[in-house]
Structure 1
Amino acid sequence: MSVHDDLSSAQRSLDDLSRTVTRLEQQLGSGDLEVRRVRVDADHLRESVALLRAAVAPPDAPRRPDLVPIPDTPYDGSLWTDSDDEGLGSRDRHAP
């Protein structure tokens, strides 16, 4: 199974759990501490799975492009013959 299938299965199980807890609340009353703790825990699990689903990228989402390595060797100086050194003025002129 893929991660998305597993997350969907967990979500369905939590939906079943929530319905069961609702039935228990109706039978036992929602004022009991134990029933409230089970409800809070079930809601917490639902929120955690929702956060996990949001964190996992969908399978058809575009991947981040691979990083391009930049070499440490100096660039060819002839690439810069037609540009000024920023902040230093032109090569054949003096700075003001």
Structure 2
Amino acid sequence: MSLQDEVTAVQRCLDDLGRALARLEKHLGSQDLELRRVRTDAAHLRESVTLLRDVHPAERPRPEPVPVPDAPYDASLWKDADEEGLGARDRHAP
């Protein structure tokens, strides 16, 4: 399954949970404290799954790898570069 399929499956489960809670509410009444807590938790889960879907909107293809040659780099690339932590070759460190 793709990521979007998994998120959709979670949303369906939350829809089922909402319907089950509505049926429980008919039996227990809307003033039941524990039922209200579960409804609030289910609403938070629904918001979190929506945020998850927004953060990962679609499957992104992996970028093509960039080949790195095994040959040594041209030394002239670093001709005027400073040594890390030491400074330029022709100057003394402070």
Q: Give the TM-score range, shorter chain.
A: 0.5 to 0.7
Q: Per chain length, whose mean CA-contact separation is higher, i.e. which structure has more relative contact order (CA < 8 Å, sep 6+)?
A: 2
Aligned to 2:7: 7
Q: Who is 2:32 aligned against?
A: 32
Return the TM-score normalized by structure 2: 0.61
Give the secondary structure class of the aligned counterpart of 2:27. helix
Instruction: Specify the SS of the correspondent of 1:57.
Output: coil
Q: Unaligned stretches of 5+ in structure 1?
A: 65-72, 75-96
Runs of 4+ in 1 over 4 A off after TM superposition: 61-64
Structure with the greater alpha carbon radius of gyration = 1
Percent of residue pairs identical: 55
Q: TM-score, normalised by structure 1?
A: 0.60
Extract unaligned runs of 5+ from structure 2.
64-76, 79-94
